[in-house]
Structure 1
Amino acid sequence: MRTEYTAGPSAAPRPSAETAPLIAALDIGGTKIAGALVDPDGQLLVRALRPTPAREDGATVMRAVDEVIAELRAAPQWPAAVAVGIGSAGPVDASVGTVSPVNVPGWRDYPLVAGVTEAAGGLPVVLTGDGVAIAAAEHWLGAARGHDNAVCMVVSTGVGGGLVLGGRVYPGPTGNAGHIGHISVDLDGDPCPCGSRGCVERIASGPNIARRALESGWSPPAGAEPTAAAVADSARAGDPVALASFDRAAQALAAGIAATANLVELGIVVIGGGVAGAGPLLFDPLRAHLARYATLSFTSGMKVVPALLGTDAGLVGAAAAAAQALRPAGFSSAG
C-alpha cells in the first residue's frame, strides 16, 4: 500500500518549493554504519559509510555515527532533509531512544536518539529495530508491496524480522515487534544467547547452520571457511549432512512463521539475508515444512518469497519508518 502523506501536527516543516523533502536514513549494525539521503520515491541520493568500531567504547562508536551524519550534512541536498530515520541492530527501545545491540557491546542503553538529534541539527528522529526497518522497505518498494499483512525476515548471522499489519508497519512500543528469531521452536533445545532455549535464530542462522553441520561430521571443501555458504555448496553437491542442516534450519523457520501467522494472520512471508541467497536449498524445504505447520484455514495460503531490496533495505526502510511515524508533507511511503 502506498500513501501520500499530508502534514500533521507532528510533521516537520516543509522544505522550499525548489526541493523535494528528503529523509536522512541510518542503518547501524555490527560491521557497518551506513547513511543516505532518501527521496520520496525511495531513491538513495547521497551515501556515507563507516565501519562500526564494534569492540570499542560507546563514545567511539558514536563518533563513527557522527562522521556519517556530518558527511550527509555536507551534501548540497541536506537542506531538504526533514527527519532522520534509524534502523539499528537491537534490542532497541524507541520509547526512550536507547539501543543495546548484542553485537556492539559498548552500547548498553545508549542514548542514540539524543546523540543523532544533536548531530543532525535538531531534526526529528525515529528509531526502529533493523528488522522493522527491513519490513518497512519491503512493504514500500519490495516483495511485500501491496500486501496488508506480512512478516519480513532477514536470515543471516542472526534471524530478525518485522511485521506489516493492516497495511502499516507495526514497530510496537519499543521498536522491536516481529522479532521472530527469538520465538522458541524447540522447548528443550540449545541455550540461545538471548537467555531462552531453542530459538529460531539458534537453529536457522548462518553460523548455526554451519555449527550443526560440523557437529554432524561435515567438513568444508578444501580451502573454504566453515560458513553457511560453504554448507550450501556441499548441499548442492549432494552432501547429505549439509542438506540435513539446511532442512533443519528450514523446519525451524517454518515453525516460527506458522506460530506468527496463527497470531496475526499473514498473507505473505518475505525472506532476505545471506542464508536466503541459498535459494531453493532453503526455500523448497521451508515451503514443505510450512505446509505441515501452517494447517489452519487462515494460514494455509501464505506465500513465501525472496526479498527484493538487498543491502539497501535497511536504509530505505529506516526512511519509510520515519515517514510513517512523522508524516512529513510530500513524502510518500508505506502506509
Structure 2
Amino acid sequence: MHTDLVAALDIGGTKIAGALVDGDGRILQRTQRPTPAQEDGDTVMGAVEEVLGDLAGSPSWAGARAIGIGSAGPVDATTGTVSPVNVPGWRDFPLVDRVRAVTGGLPVELIGDGVAITAAEHWQGAARGHDNALCMVVSTGVGGGLVLGGRLHPGPTGNAGHIGHISVDLDGDPCPCGARGCVERIASGPNIARRALAAGWRPGPDGDTSAAAVATAARAGDPHAVASFERAAQALAAGIAATATLVEIDIAVIGGGVARAQDVLFAPLRRALRDYATLSFVQRLTVAPALMGTDAGLVGAAAAALHAAPDTTAAGVG
C-alpha cells in the first residue's frame, strides 16, 4: 500500500486527464476523457465524474487521501471555482465542491494549470534543486507559475506567475484579456504564426500555418519566420527579466508547443535576455527547456495535493 497516494486531475479545453500518483511522482493509474468544451457546465462536470469514476474503480483508490486539480483558468482557490476561458459553460463553476461531493469528501487542492506545471518541473523536472524559479508554458496561450523560497507560490487564488499577461509593449496590440501588448499577444503560437503571415511568410504545399511550421521555415532561413520568433523571444525575455527583477528567480523553465522550436526560440531568447536582465542580481539567470512533457499537469496537481495534505512525508514536493 502506498502511504503517499493522491488523485490528480488535469483539466483543459481539449481533455480531462486523471491519475493516481504516489509520493515519488509515479503515475500508478491513468485515464482521460475529451472535454465537451462547448456543452453546458453540468455536461463538462459529467466528463470529470467519469474520470473520477475510472480512478475510483482502481484497487489503489482506497489509499488516496487527497485530490489535486490543475485547471485551465482563471481559477479561484479561495472560492473553489473555475472559469476556464476555453470552457464557456464553466463560469464561477463550483468545481471543488462538486469533486468533493462525488469523492466522499476527500480534501481537494485547486491550482491553475500553469502553477501545476511549475509544481511538476520543480519536483521532478528542469527546476529541481532551484529554490526560486519561473516555469512557463508557451503554446496556444502563455501561462506560468512561481517557486519562491523553495515552495510553490500559487498566490491566494492559485494564479500567481501568470506571465502571459504582463504587458511588454505599451503601445502594442490589444489583447483579448483587455490590456495591451501582453507577452501572450506576441509570444503565443497562434500569434507567432499570425505575425509571420502578415509579414509575408507563406506556408508550404501542405498549407500548415502553425507555429511549428513557422519554426521549420525559420530553421531553413526564412527571414519573416525568423523575425517572428525573434519578436516572440524578445517579449518572453522582457517578461522573464521583469519577473526576475521583481522576485529574484534564478531559472526560467519554458515548456509548451512553442518551446519545441528549440534553438529557433532559445537562441534569440538567451540573446534578448542579456539585453533585459541587466542588473547584477539577475545576470546569472538561466533559461532551460521543460522536461516533464505531457504528464506535467497531472504530476503537478499531485504535488500540490501532497504538499497541502497535513500528513505528507514526501520530501521536496513543490
Name the structure 1 match of 2:259: 276
Structure 1 letter corresponding to 2:74: P
Check if 1:47 corresponds to 2:23: no
Which residue among 7, 12, 31 is the counterpart of 2:14?
31
CA distance in 1, matches of 2:250, 2:64: 34
Structure 1 letter corresponding to 2:131: D
Name the structure 1 match of 2:109: 126
CA distance in 2, matches of 1:293, 1:21: 43
- In structure 1, runs of 5+ residues without a counterpart are 1-17
Preserved CA contact (<8 Å) 2:126 2:291: yes
Preserved CA contact (<8 Å) 1:320 1:333: no
Name the structure 2 match of 1:103: 86
Structure 2 letter corresponding to 1:288: R
Name the structure 2 match of 1:159: 142
Structure 2 letter corresponding to 1:164: V
Check if 1:302 corresponds to 2:285: yes
Name the structure 1 match of 2:189: 206
Name the structure 1 match of 2:217: 234
TM-score relative to the length of structure 2: 0.98
Name the structure 1 match of 2:175: 192
Q: Tell me which of the two structures has the higher relative contact order, counting C-alpha pairs closer than 8 angstroms and 6 or more residues apart.
A: 1
Identity over the aligned pairs, expressed in percent?
72
Which residue among 123, 126, 131 is the counterpart of 1:148?
131
TM-score relative to the length of structure 1: 0.93
CA distance in 2, matches of 1:48, 1:332: 26
Preserved CA contact (<8 Å) 1:23 1:83: yes
Q: Deviations over 1:220-244 (max 9, x none)?
A: 1111321101101111111000000
Name the structure 1 match of 2:294: 311
Calculate the aligned-residue CA RMSD, in Å. 0.9
Name the structure 2 match of 1:12: none
Deviation at 1:329, TM superposition (A): 3.4
CA distance in 1, matches of 2:311, 2:177: 36
Deviation at 1:330, TM superposition (A): 3.3
CA distance in 2, matches of 1:328, 1:152: 27
After TM superposition, the runs of 4+ consecutive aligned structure 1 residues lying more than 4 A away are: none
CA distance in 2, matches of 1:321, 1:329: 11
Deviation at 1:328, TM superposition (A): 3.2
Name the structure 2 match of 1:289: 272
Name the structure 2 match of 1:328: 311
CA distance in 1, matches of 2:245, 2:313: 37
Partner SS, residue 250 of structure 1:
helix
CA distance in 1, matches of 2:69, 2:311: 16
Check if 1:75 corresponds to 2:67: no
CA distance in 2, matches of 1:54, 1:284: 36
Q: Deviations over 1:267-310 (max 9, x none)?
A: 11100000000000000000000000000001111010000000
Structure 1 letter corresponding to 2:246: L
- In structure 2, runs of 5+ residues without a counterpart are none
Deviation at 1:21, TM superposition (A): 2.6
Preserved CA contact (<8 Å) 2:306 2:312: no
Match runs of 1:171-190 below 5 Å = 171-190=154-173
CA distance in 2, matches of 1:328, 1:41: 15
Q: Deviations over 1:4-63 (max 9, x none)?
A: xxxxxxxxxxxxxx4433110000001000000000110000001000011111111000
Partner SS, residue 229 of structure 1:
helix
Partner SS, residue 334 of structure 1:
coil
Q: Deviations over 1:118-156 (max 9, x none)?
A: 122210000000011111000000010010000000001
CA distance in 1, matches of 2:230, 2:130: 28
Deviation at 1:190, TM superposition (A): 0.8
After the TM superposition, which of the residue ranges 287-296 and 118-127 deviates more from structure 2?
Answer: 118-127
Q: Deviations over 1:53-91 (max 9, x none)?
A: 111111110000000000000011100100000000000
Preserved CA contact (<8 Å) 1:323 1:333: no
Which residue among 237, 261, 270 is the counterpart of 2:244?
261
Partner SS, residue 304 of structure 1:
strand
Deviation at 1:97, TM superposition (A): 0.2
CA distance in 1, matches of 2:101, 2:89: 20
Q: Deviations over 1:151-197 (max 9, x none)?
A: 00000110000000000000000000000000000111111111111
Deviation at 1:333, TM superposition (A): 4.5
CA distance in 2, matches of 1:128, 1:160: 12
